Structure formats: C-alpha cells, structure tokens
C-alpha cells in the first residue's frame, strides 16, 4: 500500500475524529499538521470534516450520517449499509457531527484520517466511500519512505512500512476461491504474500543489524570528541541551524521531514580539539511506534551526545506541545541524562515583545535565528564553553629533538600557554582524557 500523487488521485479530504481524550485545540492543531503532511506528499487538500465519537476503536469509525455526507464529497462511489452499530450511534448524544465548510459534490478522490485505523476499519470505510482511504500512520511512513537517502534510513523505513502493510494485505477477488497451484501446499495468494512479507522483514532486520554494528563502530571512534546533537520537532529549523554552526551543505527545506538521515559535521570555525555536531531525525505527534523502534540506532547519536540542543520553532504557537513530543520520544529511547540547551529558533519572526515574553518564560534558553550571524556566533561560543568545561588541563614538556609533536598537539588540542626553555618547550594544553593519555604514551616512546 503506497500513496501516489497523480492526476487522477490528488484531491484529499481530511477527517478528524474527536474523542473525550482528543479534542479542542489539540485536534485542530493535529488536523492542520496532517494537512502539511499530505501536502508534503504532493496532494491538494480540498477540505476537512470532523465528528465527535466516544472512541476510534468502533467497527465503524464514523456514524452513518457523516459517512453519507463524506460519500457526497467523494462522488457516491461506495455502498453505505445500515448496521446495528450505525443505528445505535444515531441516537447517541456523544456522537455529534461537527459542521464544516460547504464542499462541492465529488471534490475529493482520496480520504485521509487523522488517527490510526485498524485493517478492518480501513476496509469498511473504503467499501462505504468507494475511494482510497489512508490513516495518519500510513501518510507518515510514506513520507519517511520517500525521504530516506542512506542505506540505514532506507532499511529502517522499509521495516516500519512492511510492519504497517502486513496486516493490511488483502485477498484478490478470486484469491479466496482459487488455490495457487505449485505455490505451496494449497496456499492462497494472500497467504503467499504474507509469507513473502515475513521473509522480507527477517532479511531486512538481519541487514539492519549489520549496518547498526558499523554505525556503532563509527560512534565509538567519535566518542573521543565532544559531540553535540540537534534534536527537535520536524521543520523546527534543525538543518538550517546545522548549516549555520558547521558551515556545511546539509539539506534543509521548509517542509516536514525534509531530511531523515543523521549527518555528522565538525563545528565551524574549527576548534582544537574538534567538536562534532549531529543532526537527528525530526519528531512529530503520533509518531508510529514502528518508526520509533526502527530509528533507535539513528537516535543513538543523541544518546551518546555530550550536549543536546533542543531546537524549537519559537514562531509556532504550538511549540510547547511539540517540545513535549521530543521529550517523550527521547525518553522512550533512553536519552534523559545529557546536558541540554533549549534553542528558541526563528526568533526573527517574533516581535520584541514576544521575544521578551519567551525569555521570561524560559530564562535558561537561548533565543536565536539561524539567519543571524550574531546569534550563530553566540551559540557557537556557548558550545565551545561547555566543551571546555569537560576538558583537562595539563603541562607537557617536549624536547626540541621531538620533531612534529608540537604541530600534532596544535591540531588536536587547545594550547593555552607555551614557554621556550633551553632544551625543551613547555606547553599547557587542554584536551580530553583519551587524547592526553595517547600523547603521554607517545612521549614515553620518544
């Protein structure tokens, strides 16, 4: 199951199901976010519909009246049958249709729900409306699938996609009547497809383990450096901030999940010793569990970081709830004890009054704009200062006969003082314990 934007399938109607646990501003913000997700896939959102329900777990996720209303908007291509549950729901005060904008007949050819649908719910709604129906998880997984670039990200997303697709596989029109001769002991096409998916998943998981081992080896090599990880909600400006403080060409666009792959660059201007910065995958509300599980290895960059920069879009009124999502996902993967700084990004889009109010609310945060060189320099200096706090200062005596050692020290350590004596140079250096131990060992061998 994949969403494909094309001429005959590009007008999306968004459906919000409000429950006692999910309503009000939260539901409104979530529906607006779904619109951005769907737009990222290339669809045109033609309108929205909402209904209050006691739960999203009902066999029929919408009441009969709302289904009939939506069927008009999708061209009455399906069959809506009165069921016992539908009859009951019409008299239930908890099940209330929320009026929405007037939309023309047959204006939509795809329907997207802002919640997760079970395979049976999905099948029922498609039969009733006669058009393709998707849920929020399906949309997010499709976006991840399109934006994955590296082998690791592609493996992680494909595992999540197959986990999503497996229970939604359906029998062909004749699959339940015919057996596929020569394809197993009387297995149906559906059974064969499910077995194929299971085999694919097993192979992908084995391949991912091997790739994760390689990633772990690279992280071990980087563990000697002070590492900073940018974490935050999707589209908060992490990639722009990454470019600003590392001078790199990390991809970044004003869209959701523009980049998925973890990138590691050195802080720029370059410091001695080097400070590494990694840009992690962005988060989103209702992030599918399979994606969180698949991206554990990618988020390990945040787990191993010496400093976490929580980047938020300060111009977005909902950034506080987005920040809660970031905290939840990081806690789920075991990232809790690292040093952290809240970076209130995109401050150039705020008034002075709004900026002052934010600094009063978050006195420990840093108000920045990735477009402002002064702000970037301030953040750069903050990172350097934190890194310096973790370094050890020692005095090293180097004989003049030791060729090349001084140049090596300058390229890997911070030299705070140097004295030239009769037969040696005395350097006061700051570095991490591993680099200092390596230098001392090398000095003993001279």
For residue 232, give the nearest of 386, 368, 371, 378 by alpha carbon: 368
pTM score: 0.78
Q: Please name every residue paired with 111 in a beta bridge, in sequence order, or none if there are none.
A: 13, 133
Separation CA 270–CA 262 (nearest Å): 20
Block residue for tokens 């949309």: 139
Separation CA 253–CA 247 (nearest Å): 17
Q: What is the reported pLDDT for 178?
A: 46
Q: What is the reported pLDDT for 384?
A: 93
CB 346 within 8 A of CB 315: yes
Averaged in consecutive runs of 10 residues, what is the pLDDT profile of the chain (446 residues)?
Answer: 54 94 89 92 92 88 90 88 50 47 85 93 92 92 83 86 86 46 61 90 91 74 81 89 85 56 84 87 79 68 86 94 89 79 96 97 96 96 91 89 84 87 89 83 78
Separation CA 338–CA 280 (nearest Å): 15
Q: Please name every residue paired with 313 in a beta bridge, in sequence order, or none if there are none.
A: 345
Task: Determine the 3-state secondary structure of 80 from DSSP.
Answer: coil
For residue 50, give the nearest of 86, 9, 4, 97 by alpha carbon: 97
Q: What is the reported pLDDT for 112?
A: 96
CA angle, corner 267, sides to 261 and 271, nearest 5? 150
Separation CA 369–CA 343 (nearest Å): 9
Query: Half-sphere exposure (CA, 13 Å, Cβ side) for 115?
Result: 25
Rg from Cα positions in the chain: 28
CA angle, corner 280, sides to 274 and 286, nearest 5? 160
Q: What is the DSSP secondary structure assignment for residue 99, as one 8-state letter? A: P
First to last CA, the chain: 65
- Residues 55, 163, 284, 124, CA torsion sign: negative
Separation CA 258–CA 252 (nearest Å): 6
Per-position DSSP letters for 100-112, written without gaps between them: -----TT--SEEE
Separation CA 257–CA 284 (nearest Å): 9
- Residues 236, 239, 244, 245, CA torsion sign: positive
**Which tokens in the block code for residue 110?**
């795809």
The whole-angstrom distance between residue 318's C-alpha and the CA centroid of its chain comes to: 17
**Which tokens in the block code for residue 375?**
């702000």
Q: Residues of 40-78 as b/e, b for ≥16 C-beta within 10 angstroms? A: bbebebbbbbbbbbeebebebbbbbebbebbbebbeeeb
């Amino acid at each position: 199951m994949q969403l494909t934007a094309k001429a005959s399938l590009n007008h999306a109607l968004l459906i919000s199901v409000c429950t006692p646990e999910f309503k009000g501003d939260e539901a409104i913000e979530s529906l607006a976010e779904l619109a951005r997700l769907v737009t990222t896939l290339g669809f045109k959102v033609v309108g929205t519909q909402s209904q209050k329900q006691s739960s999203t777990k009902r066999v029929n996720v919408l009441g009969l009246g709302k289904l009939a209303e939506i069927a008009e908007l999708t061209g009455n291509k399906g069959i809506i049958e009165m069921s016992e549950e539908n009859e009951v729901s019409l008299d239930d005060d908890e099940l209330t249709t929320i009026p929405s904008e007037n939309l023309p007949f047959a204006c939509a050819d795809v329907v997207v729900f802002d919640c997760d649908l079970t395979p049976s719910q999905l099948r029922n709604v498609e039969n009733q409306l006669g058009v393709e129906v998707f849920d929020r998880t399906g949309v997010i997984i499709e976006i991840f699938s399109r934006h994955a670039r590296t082998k690791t990200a592609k493996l992680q997303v494909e595992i999540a996609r197959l986990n999503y697709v497996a229970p939604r596989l359906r029998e062909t029109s004749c699959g339940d009547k015919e057996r596929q001769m020569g394809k197993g002991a009387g297995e149906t096409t559906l059974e064969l497809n499910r077995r194929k998916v299971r085999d694919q998943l097993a192979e992908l998981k084995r391949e991912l383990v091997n790739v994760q081992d390689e990633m772990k080896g690279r992280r071990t090599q980087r563990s000697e450096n002070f590492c900073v990880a940018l974490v935050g909600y999707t589209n908060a400006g992490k990639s722009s901030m990454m470019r600003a403080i590392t001078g790199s060409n990390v991809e970044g666009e004003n869209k959701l999940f523009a980049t998925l792959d973890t990138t590691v660059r050195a802080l720029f201007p370059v410091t001695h010793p080097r400070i590494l910065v990694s840009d992690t995958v962005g988060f989103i509300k209702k992030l599918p569990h399979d994606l969180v599980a698949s991206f554990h290895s990618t988020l390990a960059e945040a787990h191993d970081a010496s400093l976490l920069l929580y980047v938020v879009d300060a111009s977005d009124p909902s950034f506080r709830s987005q920040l809660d999502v970031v905290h939840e996902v990081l806690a789920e993967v075991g990232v809790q004890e690292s040093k952290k700084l809240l970076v209130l990004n995109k401050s150039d889009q705020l008034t002075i009054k709004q900026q002052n109010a934010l600094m009063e609310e978050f006195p420990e945060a840093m108000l920045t704009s990735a477009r402002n060189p002064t702000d970037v320099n301030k953040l750069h200096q903050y990172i350097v200062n934190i890194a310096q706090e973790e370094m050890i200062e020692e005095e090293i005596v180097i004989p003049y006969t030791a060729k090349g050692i001084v140049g090596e020290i300058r390229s890997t350590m911070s030299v705070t003082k140097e004295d030239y004596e009769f037969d040696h140079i005395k350097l006061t250096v700051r570095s991490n314990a591993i680099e200092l131990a390596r230098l001392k060992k090398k000095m003993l061998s001279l």
